[in-house]
Amino acid sequence: MDTELTYLAWSAFLCIVLWLPYVLERVQSQGLVTTLNYPERPPTPAAWAQRAHRAHLNMVENLPAFAVLVIIAHLTDVNAATGAALFFWARLLHAVVHIMGIPYIRTLAFAASWIGMLIIFFSVL
């Protein structure tokens, strides 16, 4: 498998597991029954769990564009390994520092992942 497809698979895996922290926090703090139901006034999750949820949503928003670019690069035999690696590692860093609540590094990591996608985009033109 090409390097960029491997990074796409790892990015998909990251997206798949990013929901776990905030759901597990809900189960731990509210109990399984409350988490599985729709309470009228659900308790506010911990701040780190709210950030974990936003990190997951941000990955969900960015993964489709990344996937399309990687697939186009793969189908056109364009080497997108550098951009794909930058995207994945920046997204992993983004998730960690976002959950930890480190603001400036979070923004830089997001920008780096965006640059990774731009590298791929301009490579396939």
Q: What is the mean pLDDT of the chain?
A: 95
pLDDT digits (tens, 9 = 90+) for 47-105: 999 999 999 999 999 999 999 999 999 999 999 999 999 999 999 999 999 999 999 99
**In order of start, what are the domains of the chain with their CATH numbers?**
3-18+47-124 (1.20.120.550)
39: pLDDT confidence band, cut at 50, 70 and 90? confident
Rounded alpha-carbon distances, angstroms, from residue 80 to 64, 108, 118: 16, 21, 10
Identify whether the C-beta of residue 52 lies closer than 8 Å to the C-beta of residue 22: yes
Give the predicted TM-score (pTM) of the model: 0.92
pLDDT of residue 42: 82
Give dist(CA 57, CA 31) in Å, integer. 23
- Tokens read off for 43: 């308790």
